[in-house]
């Protein structure tokens, strides 16, 4: 029987789980059972873990993202040791720490609940969430409102982080962090493990409190320290993060505190949580809509100015165009231009002047078609629409010149570890941004923040041990690291062209087929084509009546990925197509077409595939 079962839930943290597992596998003072549950990662983690660590870990590859709690419980069922450790994949733990924790557990068997340790980030700065008090409404309010930062010396106001327990103390605390959560298997299984109602966030608080309610004590060992590369699988700017985080707070309060407080206080607490969700979600949404909103105001302003000027020039009356017809034309024209620009991703690729110009031209065509449907009494001069168009073109280009190229790249430096082909691909970025510095370095070379802003490493080019060292050292220097394949470079270059050089310094991989506007266009195309083809489906072998019905109700799409393809890169999931984007004999060629389809999706690709299939 192993001394300790370690359960790790992984999701898109391939960079970090390597150094975590390599560190654990080098521990010889304890007999460890390491269980890794991969929650349907899209960064190649499952394949990598199976190949690299298959003989040393128990890998459970999930086809779904179950969330932290449910995945941890799956691991708990497989654990065979008397002691369990729930460990985040973005951590670094030494053998002496685990040995000390196990020894402490063995000497405190009666009242032992859970054990946590001192956590520090890569700068060795203490993470206060290592120990926490029970988040009753007053404590949570002080913390979330930021009032605690104004009264740092007040234990009452800062009770959320258990200030009565020192950073290096060993003492009981109410709440411990799920990044390192140690306990007896019998106790954890008795209380049912984590509450799976919590998808992510709040599970550790709930489990810690349920252990306390069992009459046990949770201990914080400040003498033992681990490194936690905090939140590497979390996008804190994502609205879904905000909803999950605050929804977990609401769930915890409803589960544990509603019976203790009056309905008035419960209403105030739960309402304030919903208000936080609304305010923070709105803040993030407005930050994304700021430039489109400003541009829309300029469009409307231009429409009314053009009406005044054209009325004064042509009719000698600046107020010639007024009333509901004039207002309706301005609003409808502006709405159609904004909609067209959105569907062409012009607001996403704010640097791309050509995409913007094409959007305006298509918008003008739509405006003129809608205009032709108006009653004669509601029509205005067609010339006005062309004046609107010229105004929008000039204003849009000026705004994009002012805000679309705001990133400074004069001091940005990229270091590359990889093959010659990989380096040449990265170097092509200098054609887009001549001031960018790209250099090839050896995998043995030490790097620092003075010589590198971002480190690109080719997938599978260097051993995992060396890669882990680069990941840790780069984090300590504050350097961003991106592990990329040759295919990823194509995506990187395409996105950087339109988004700007800042795209090089974050970890987001943008596939056009994932964009909201692309999904809308694709769905409209599916609906229109299926409706058009239904009456004539009996006359063609390319598509069947049943398949078209499946498309119409949203179960399938007209065009999908090629099914005979090598899965070199994890592509975004889309609906099964009744037609395939390519049908070559070569799986490699089909993979390239799938990759291009996801990366550079446009409805034109769907249309071409449809036409070729009908008339082949």
The predicted-structure confidence for 78-89, as pLDDT tens digits, reads as follows 999 999 999 998
The predicted-structure confidence for 508-530, as pLDDT tens digits, reads as follows 446 788 888 899 999 999 999 99
pTM of the predicted model as reported, rounded to 2 decimal places: 0.62
Q: What is the largest CA-CA distance in the chain?
A: 96
Residue 595: predicted pLDDT: 76
Residue 262 pLDDT exceeds 70? yes
Beta bridge partners of 119: 226
More confident residue, 405 or 277: 277
Residue 241: predicted pLDDT: 59
What is the mean predicted confidence (pLDDT) over 122-138? 80
Q: Tokens at residue 397, please?
A: 């280009």
SS3 556: coil
Q: How confident is the model at residue 408 (pLDDT cuts 50, 70, 90)?
A: very low
Q: How far is residue 234 from each of residues 10, 51, 73, 229, measured CA to CA in Å? A: 12, 25, 21, 11
Kindly report the number of other CB atoms within 10 A of residue 384's CB atom. 22
Residue 150: predicted pLDDT: 61
Helices assigned H by DSSP within 146-238: 185-190, 203-213
8 A C-beta contact, residue 104 and residue 118: no
Residue 252: predicted pLDDT: 73
Please give the Cα distance from 272 to 403 (Å, whole number): 36
Q: Please give the helix or strand (H or E) that residue 7 lies within, else none.
A: strand 4-10
Domains of the chain listed by start with CATH number: 4-232 (3.90.550.10), 287-403 (no CATH), 413-510 (3.40.50), 514-614 (no CATH)
Q: How far is residue 546 from each of residues 140, 531, 537, 538, 615, measured CA to CA in Å? A: 55, 12, 9, 11, 20
What whole-number percentage of the chain has pLDDT above 70? 79
8 A C-beta contact, residue 160 and residue 132: yes
Query: Average pLDDT, whole number, for the chain?
Result: 80
Residue 4: predicted pLDDT: 92
Sign of torsion over alpha carbons 568, 569, 574, 579: negative
Residue 149: predicted pLDDT: 62
Residue 63: predicted pLDDT: 79
- Degrees to nearest 5, angle at CA 526 with 370 and 364: 25
What is the mean predicted confidence (pLDDT) over 455-482? 69
The predicted-structure confidence for 186-198, as pLDDT tens digits, reads as follows 999 998 888 877 7
Q: Tokens at residue 218, please?
A: 């949770």
Please, what is the end-to-end C-alpha distance for the chain in angstroms?
64
8 A C-beta contact, residue 344 and residue 362: yes
The predicted-structure confidence for 203-253, as pLDDT tens digits, reads as follows 888 888 889 988 899 999 999 999 887 654 454 455 565 666 666 677 776
Edge to edge, what strands does the sheet with 413-417 contain? 437-440, 413-417, 454-458, 480-484
- Burial degree of 482 (CB within 10 A; 0-12, 13-18, 19+): middle
- Burial degree of 556 (CB within 10 A; 0-12, 13-18, 19+): buried
Please give the Cα distance from 441 to 462 (Å, whole number): 13
Taking alpha carbons only, the member of 199, 182, 185, 192 closest to residue 213 is: 192
Most confident of 9-18, 388-397, 593-602: 388-397
Beta bridge partners of 7: 35, 86
Residue 406: predicted pLDDT: 46
More confident residue, 457 or 4: 4
SS3 435: coil
What is the mean predicted confidence (pLDDT) over 198-202? 74
Please give the Cα distance from 117 to 131 (Å, whole number): 8
What is the mean predicted confidence (pLDDT) over 122-146? 75
Beta bridge partners of 557: 577
8 A C-beta contact, residue 556 and residue 578: yes
Please give the Cα distance from 608 to 616 (Å, whole number): 12
Q: What phi, psi does 201 have (nearest 5°)?
A: 80, 135
The predicted-structure confidence for 546-599, as pLDDT tens digits, reads as follows 888 899 888 999 999 988 876 655 677 889 998 988 888 887 778 778 877 887
Residue 79: predicted pLDDT: 92
Residue 37 pLDDT exceeds 70? yes
Q: How far is residue 387 from each of residues 38, 96, 328, 336, measured CA to CA in Å? A: 57, 74, 16, 15
Residue 227: predicted pLDDT: 87
Q: Tokens at residue 375, please?
A: 């009653």
8 A C-beta contact, residue 58 and residue 34: yes
* Helix, strand and coil percent figures for the chain, each rounded to 5: 50, 15, 35
Q: What phi, psi does 474 have (nearest 5°)?
A: -65, -40
The predicted-structure confidence for 418-443, as pLDDT tens digits, reads as follows 888 888 888 887 776 776 778 888 76
The predicted-structure confidence for 156-195, as pLDDT tens digits, reads as follows 666 677 888 888 999 999 989 888 999 999 999 998 888 8
Convert 594-610 into a string of H (helix), E (strand) and C (coil): HHHHHHCCCHHHHHHHH
More confident residue, 126 or 255: 126
Residue 407: predicted pLDDT: 45
Taking alpha carbons only, the member of 291, 283, 290, 178 closest to residue 236 is: 283
The predicted-structure confidence for 316-363, as pLDDT tens digits, reads as follows 888 888 888 888 888 999 999 999 999 888 887 777 788 899 999 999
Please give the Cα distance from 157 to 86 (Å, whole number): 30
Radius of gyration of the chain (CA): 29
């Amino acid at each position: 029987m192993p001394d300790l079962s370690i359960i790790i839930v992984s999701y898109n943290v391939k960079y970090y789980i390597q150094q975590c597992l390599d560190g654990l596998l080098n521990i010889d003072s304890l007999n460890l059972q390491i269980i890794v549950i991969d929650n349907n990662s899209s960064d190649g983690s499952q394949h990598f873990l199976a190949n690299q660590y298959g003989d040393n870990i128990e890998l459970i590859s999930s086809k779904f993202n179950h969330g932290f709690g449910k995945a941890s419980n799956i691991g708990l069922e497989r654990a065979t040791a008397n002691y369990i450790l729930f460990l985040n994949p973005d951590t670094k733990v030494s053998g002496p720490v685990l040995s000390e924790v196990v020894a402490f557990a063995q000497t405190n068997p009666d009242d032992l609940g859970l054990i946590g340790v001192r956590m520090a980030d890569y700068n060795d700065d203490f993470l206060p969430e290592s120990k926490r008090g029970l988040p009753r409404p007053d404590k949570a309010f002080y913390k979330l409102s930021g009032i605690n930062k104004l009264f740092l010396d007040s234990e009452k106001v800062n009770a959320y982080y258990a200030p009565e327990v020192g950073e290096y103390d060993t003492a009981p605390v109410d709440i411990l962090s799920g990044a390192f959560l140690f306990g007896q298997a019998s106790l954890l299984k008795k209380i049912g493990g984590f509450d799976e109602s919590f998808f992510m966030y709040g599970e550790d608080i709930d489990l810690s409190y349920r252990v306390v309610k069992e009459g046990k004590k949770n201990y914080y060992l400040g003498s033992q320290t681990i490194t936690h590369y905090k939140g590497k699988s979390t996008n804190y700017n994502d609205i879904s993060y905000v909803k999950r985080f605050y929804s977990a707070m609401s769930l915890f309060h409803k589960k544990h505190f509603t019976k203790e407080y009056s309905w008035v206080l419960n209403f105030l607490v739960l309402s304030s949580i919903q208000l936080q969700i609304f305010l923070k979600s709105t803040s993030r949404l407005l930050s994304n809509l700021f430039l489109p909103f400003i541009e829309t105001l300029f469009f409307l302003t231009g429409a009314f100015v053009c009406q005044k000027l054209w009325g004064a020039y042509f009719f000698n009356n600046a107020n010639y165009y007024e009333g509901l017809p004039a207002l309706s034309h301005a609003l409808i024209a502006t709405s159609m231009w904004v909609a067209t620009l959105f569907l062409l991703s012009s607001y996403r690729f704010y640097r791309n002047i050509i995409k913007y110009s094409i959007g305006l031209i298509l918008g003008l065509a739509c405006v003129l078609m809608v205009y032709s449907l108006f009653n004669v009494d509601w029509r205005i001069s067609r010339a006005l629409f062309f004046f609107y168009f010229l105004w929008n073109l000039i204003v849009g280009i000026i705004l994009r010149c002012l805000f679309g190229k705001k990133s400074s790249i004069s001091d940005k430096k990229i270091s590359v570890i990889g093959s010659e082909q990989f380096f040449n691909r990265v170097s092509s970025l200098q054609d887009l941004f001549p001031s960018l510095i790209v250099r090839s370095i050896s995998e043995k070379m030490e790097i620092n923040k003075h010589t590198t802003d971002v480190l690109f490493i080719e997938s599978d080019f260097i051993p995992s041990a060396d890669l882990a060292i680069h990941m840790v050292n780069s984090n300590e220097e504050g350097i961003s690291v991106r592990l990329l394949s040759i295919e990823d470079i194509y995506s990187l270059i395409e996105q950087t062209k339109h988004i700007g050089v800042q795209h090089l310094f974050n970890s987001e991989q943008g596939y056009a087929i994932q964009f909201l506007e692309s999904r809308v266009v694709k769905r409209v195309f599916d609906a229109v084509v299926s409706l058009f083809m239904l009456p004539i489906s009996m006359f063609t072998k390319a598509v069947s009546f049943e398949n078209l019905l499946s498309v119409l109700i949203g179960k399938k799409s007209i065009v999908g990925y090629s099914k005979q393809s090598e899965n070199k890169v994890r592509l975004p999931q889309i609906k099964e197509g009744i037609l395939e984007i390519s049908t070559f004999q070569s799986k490699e060629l089909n993979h390239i077409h799938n990759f291009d389809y996801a990366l550079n999706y446009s409805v034109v690709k769907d249309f071409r595939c449809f036409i070729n299939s009908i008339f082949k």
